[in-house]
Each structure stands twice: as C-alpha cells, then as structure tokens.
Amino acid sequence: MAHRKVYLAVGRKNTRIYRFDPLDGDTRVVDNVPAYAAGYTAMGAQYRGDDKEPLLLAISDNKLVTIDVEDGTVGDEVVEGLPSGMTWYDGDLDADGKILFVVSDPNVPSYSIDVTAKTATVGKLPGSGRWDDFAHHPKNGRLISVEGDNGDLLHIDPQKEPMKSVLKGQVFEPAEASSAAGSRKSYSATFFDDDGNFYAVDSAGNVNHLDLTGQAVPDRAERIGGGKIPVDDLEVMNGAGRITPLPVPPSYDDILVSKKFNSSWDSYDPRGKVYSFELTLTAVSVRSGKGEDVRRFRISFDLPTVAGTKVVASGVDVIYQDGKAYIDAQADQLLPAGKSRPITVQITAPGDPGKLPHEYPLDGLKATRLA
C-alpha cells in the first residue's frame, strides 16, 4: 500500500504531524491533529486502504502513541514490557502492520511491539552510530538506514548483534542539524517508493534519493529538489509511509506565485463548474527572496483526483495524483530574474453546481523552478 505523501513527526517536544509531498516539496502541518506535548519518534504507518489515510503509530517513553490523521485524534497507552526513561529513534511497522520494531541507544536492546496487545518483546542490541530511522525495502523486506555522521548506507538485521552492517560507505552527504536547540545531525526520516527507490530526510529538511530498485548499490545518493523542505526552525524527528513512484523529477525550489480569480460558470459534461484564474509567476526565490532566472516551472495545488477533473492551460502537461494537480511547463521559456508572467488556467471541478463554491479555493497553491 502506498500514497503520494509521507508523514513527518516534527518538533522534539509538542510534536506535530506534517504531510510531505516528495514531488513538489509541499510540507503542511495536519491542522486537525493536536500537538503531543512529550514528543514521539520511532513511527510507522499502518495502511487502511487506498481511500483512507494510514494510522500512525509511534513511541514516547514507554507508551504507544496512536495518531489518526483522518479523525484528528492522538492517544497513548503504556506498552507492557517496554522500559521507561528511554529515548527512541528508529521505528517501522512490519508488512502486516502488526509489529512495530523500535531502537534506542547503542547499548539498549531493541523491542518488537505488538500494537494490538500493547506488549513488547526484547530483542538484540543495535550497535553504534547515529542512525535515527529505517524503512523496509518493498521487494526484499530488508531494513535500510543511513549513518548521519558519515552517510554510510546501512542494513539493519534484527536477528544479529550488533544489528547494523555497512552496505556501502559514504553514499550520502553527512546529515545536517536544524537550527532547533539540541537538534541531531541525523537522517531522521526514511522511506521507499513501491519500486525500491529510497529517500532519506535529515533533521534540517534536506531530501536525498538513492536508487535501490536493482541489486547494485550506487556509489552516491543525490540530494534532490533544489532546496530544503519548509519546517521553519523546527526539527524533523521521524517519518513514516511509502509512496507511489514519482512520475516526474521533484523540485522544491519555490518561486513566488499569486492568483486572481476571473470567473466561474456551470459545466454540463461533466456536471460541475469551470473556474478561470490568472496565476502570476514571479522569478524570485521564496527561500532567499532574490531574483533568479526561471526557464521551466511547475505549479501545483489541491484538486480532487476524480473522474471529470480537468486543468487546462497553454503549453503545459498536467498530472493528477492523490488529490493534487501538477502543472509542468512543456518547454524552456526564459522568465528573467525578478520579472513576472501571467498564466490563464481553467479548472473543471465535477459535482453539484449549486453546492460547489463560487470561487475554487486553490488550497496548497505553490510554484517551483524546474530549470
């Protein structure tokens, strides 16, 4: 089971859940899920079907924390046999979503937690290093992690002691800490897509990709997106989930975009409404505030992925996935640094015209520079 987005636990205390879209870097706090004051890590995702977001399960001290993203609830229960006073780092659920395997410090035993019975079974010692999350490879089931200090690619075998072995040295750049007090230089959120592409996010929000779809391990991972994911001055503590393969290269190099609503009218095939907007791109980096030439762009926003949904604009390709639309320029066309260009976009939203809004909200509107 996989969706377009993964879930990040952000903040050492008062931890919040963020949805992260690896395609455009869209990173938004899940507003209806409250903060958890004590903080949690060692998180896994229990999938419940294509049309439902997963249940997230994490550890805080000796408690199993259950985060229901859809219902907006956070609850916790003491786990029998799990020691208190520990700091937990890595966590992932097995393929059945029944056992959460968690790891603490090098000389603290690992534990396998039955998430239904709320009981913990002691396991092997993890071994040394600063590896703060792992994820199961979708094809062979191996747990894969990254050493934060030197970027080594690791295999974590729960049946061995110590559990870690180096698959290849210095594949990733050394991890960066965020500006948050006490932040660790670690790869704190890791995940795969269905094909076996591996992604690792460090505490500062740098996103890295490594192709593990075949037998050979590449010598170097690539840092993707052209920028960090925006979590302000907080710290990425952990991640959970698996994604569908990315249909196009990612970009997180945000540029300015604004919208002006033109008009809307009823549609009859499909039944719904058509909305006309003027979206204005400005060749200025959101991150630095400086003007940068833009030759190709991507615009994205929330749009239900249902039959009849359509986006029309000149000179673009449109992808519809998991509740979003991605609009990519087909060819290079220079927009000089600091300059602006309007783009007329028409959006067809199926439904009862009487119940659809007069102006479509365009939630999550953002633009990124592709070249």
More confident residue, 227 or 355: 355
- Give the separation between CA 243 and CA 65, rounded to whole angstroms: 23
More confident residue, 17 or 306: 17
- 9-30 burial string, b = 16+ CB within 10 Å, else e? bbbbeebbbbbbbbbbbbbebb
Q: Residue 1: what pLDDT?
A: 61
Cβ neighbors of 78 (< 8 A, separation 6 or more) are 62, 63, 64, 118
Q: Residue 24: what pLDDT?
A: 92
Q: Which amino acid is residue 114, in one-letter code?
A: D
Q: Residue 295: what pLDDT?
A: 97
Token pair recorded at residue 11 = 């903040």
Q: Which amino acid is residue 333, in one-letter code?
A: Q
Under 8 Å between Cβ of 180 and 235: yes
Q: Residue 332: what pLDDT?
A: 94
Under 8 Å between Cβ of 135 and 240: no
Give the DSSP letter of residue 47. Answer: -
254-309 pLDDT, tens digit per residue, is 999 999 999 999 999 999 999 999 999 999 999 899 999 999 999 999 998 888 99
Asked which of 26-30, 88-92, 156-160, 181-185 is least confident by mean pLDDT, the reply is 181-185
Q: Which CATH superfamily is domain 6-240 in?
A: TolB, C-terminal domain (2.120.10.30)
Residue whose entry in the numeric block shows the structure tokens 């939630």: 363
Give the DSSP letter of residue 3. Answer: B
Q: Residue 10: what pLDDT?
A: 94
Q: Which amino acid is residue 228, in one-letter code?
A: K
Q: What is the DSSP string of 79-122?
A: PBTPPSSPPP-EEEE-TTS-EEEEE-STTS--EEEETTTTEEEE
- Give the separation between CA 83 and CA 109, rounded to whole angstroms: 10
- Give the separation between CA 162 and CA 99, rounded to whole angstroms: 21
The pLDDT mean for the chain works out to: 94
Under 8 Å between Cβ of 193 and 144: no
Token pair recorded at residue 365 = 């509107």
Instruction: Describe the strand order of the beta sheet including 27-29 as a list of residue ranges.
Output: 27-29, 16-20, 6-10, 236-240
Q: Residue 39: what pLDDT?
A: 96
Q: Assign 136 to helix, strand or coil.
A: strand
Sign of CA dihedral 189, 124, 151, 203: positive
- Give the separation between CA 345 and CA 185, rounded to whole angstroms: 43
Average pLDDT over residues 325-350: 96
- Protein fold of 254-369: Immunoglobulin-like (2.60.40)
Q: Residue 178: what pLDDT?
A: 87
Token pair recorded at residue 16 = 């919040």
Give the residue extent of every domain in the chain. 6-240, 254-369
CA dihedral of 298, 304, 310, 315, whole degrees rounded to 10: 0
Number of residues that this document lists for the chain:
371
The pTM of the full predicted model, rounded to 2 decimals, is 0.92
- Give the separation between CA 86 and CA 113, rounded to whole angstroms: 15
- Give the separation between CA 288 and CA 40, rounded to whole angstroms: 32
What SS3 string covers 236-259? Answer: EEEEECCECCCCCCCECCEEEEEE
Under 8 Å between Cβ of 215 and 167: no
Within 13 Å of residue 329, how many CA atoms lie on the same side as its CB?
A: 18
Q: How confident is the model at residue 179 (pLDDT cuts 50, 70, 90)?
A: confident
